[in-house]
Amino acid sequence: MDYSTNDSKSTSKKKVVAVVGGGLVGNLNACYFAKRGFQVEVFESREDILQAKIVKGRSINLVLSHRGRQTLKHVGMEDTIISKGIPMHSRMIHALNGTQSPIPYGKKGQYILSIDRANLNKELLSAAETYPNINLNFANKLLDWSTETGAMTFVRAEGAKEEIQADLIVGCDGAFSAIRKQFLRQSRFNYSQTYTPHGYLEFTMPPINGEFAMKPNNLHIWPRNTFMMIALPNLDKTFNCTLFMPFEEFEKVTTGDKVIEFFQKYFPDAIPLIGALLRGIFFRLPAQAMVSVKCSSYHFGDKCVLMGDAAHAMVPFYGQGMNAGFEDCLVFNEIMDQLKDFSAVLPEYTRVRVPDDLAMYNYVEVTYFILLTNSDVNSKWFLF
Ligand code: FAD
């Protein structure tokens, strides 16, 4: 099917934008393009999560920072999302001896939010559904696309293949982006993918007597040299805990008794809070790998642009992947305010965005633990 208008490459309103990947960034992006008057076709490999009984996904909750909120504001979603989030005013640092010390996120009254990932996904999808000029195509997986013609090949759930054309392709298909594969063949395209030696494991800290087991308006952190545990509050009064640790350490903890021993050594204050669930936490699911992706440039001619994890996947303990991906949408939109043609907008987006991202990586990699005590909620590179 040829959705493209085949006239000039201007960003005029009748153009068709294909957003490949209907995750957090893809759905928000669809709203941004629709708001500008484009016809938007979203292609998502999964089924419709608003209809699905079981939704698979990564973390249970996410940190929404100031920069992420600004992007939601632009499409009128900030208040809805904030009303379902839990404000966290400080990091609460847990020392080995159980002492807790708060480190505020900036000035009094400033906070970041703990947001339920599944709900955020659903809200973004519901928002996209309200635009008459957004068409959501579920169970459509991109197999390949041609850099010469721009034609994309999708396969549907039942196995049928279809070729689609659009005026602009926006790759929001995550860290293992199929759109990005074609970039790899281009001269002067830089790309790196790195797995950290750390994995992550999520588990729940249940309520105690119907109340939060710890102070809810904090992001709890147990820093322990080469690894750390964090806990974010949920609306149902549980905390979602994530342990980031080298895989070789995970591999040493092979029985329920070893879990208890491990917690006695590193997180003794968390033992009564997690309670009876503790013995089983290492064995429900294996620790998950963490990948970071850096690439440049983010665009191909006037045909295609990468956003979100497809452009810059980062390890979760920065608490920034989604926030940075949301900001991509805002920055691209601002550039479209100034420049008329995709042939000018796309290189400008790369020019503005690539150094920003790379600077962030370098900055956080070098100074993570210094920043832990210094970054504030409004700083561009806020960290946990
Ligand atoms: P994704 O969420 O990966 O979405 C990509 C979409 O594309 C998916 O829906 C997928 O089904 C679809 N897709 C993939 N391939 C194809 C294809 N070939 N054809 C069609 N569709 C396709 N970030 C934060 O800002 N704050 C946090 O606190 C935070 N915590 C995190 C905790 C964990 C444990 C992890 C793993 C990550 C965390 N992140 C956090 C990072 C955040 O999850 C990602 O940055 C964010 O999900 C990126 O969104 P995205 O839409 O770019 O990609």
User: Which one, of 240, 326, 310, 312, lies nearest residue 277 by Cα?
Assistant: 240
Q: How far is the CA of 76 from the centre of ligand 1 (A)?
A: 22
Pocket test for ligand 1, best of 137, 141, 309 (most atoms within 8 A of CB): 309
Six-digit token pair at 377?
Answer: 């909620």
Distance (angstroms) between ligand 1 centre and the Cα of 99 equals 35
Q: What local confidence, expressed as pLDDT, does residue 245 receive?
A: 93
Q: Which of 332, 287, 370, 367 is nearest to 36 (CA)?
A: 332
Residue 264 confidence (pLDDT): 97
Q: Is residue 323 in contact with ligand 1, taking CB distance under 6 Å? A: yes
305 near 231, Cβ under 8 Å?
A: no
Distances (CA, A) of 298 to 121, 191, 305, 324: 24, 11, 6, 14
Q: What is the pLDDT of residue 310?
A: 98
Q: Which atom of ligand 1 is nearest to the CA of 62?
A: 28
How far is it, in rounded angstroms, from Cα 26 to Cα 6?
24
Best residue among 27, 29, 58 to mutate for probing ligand 1, ranked by most atoms within 8 Å of CB: 58
Query: Which pLDDT value is given to residue 366?
Result: 41
Question: Side by side, which strands form the sheet with 61-64?
Answer: 61-64, 112-116, 86-88
Atom of ligand 1 nearest to the CA of 320: 25
Average pLDDT per 10 consecutive residues for the chain, totaling 384 residues: 61 83 97 97 92 64 92 95 95 94 85 94 95 97 96 94 96 98 94 92 96 97 90 96 95 96 97 95 93 95 97 87 96 95 97 72 45 45 51
Q: Please give the pLDDT value at position 319.
A: 81
Concatenating the DSSP letter of every residue in 189-208 gives -EEEEEEEEEEEEEEEE--B
- Contact by Cβ (8 Å): 154, 57: no
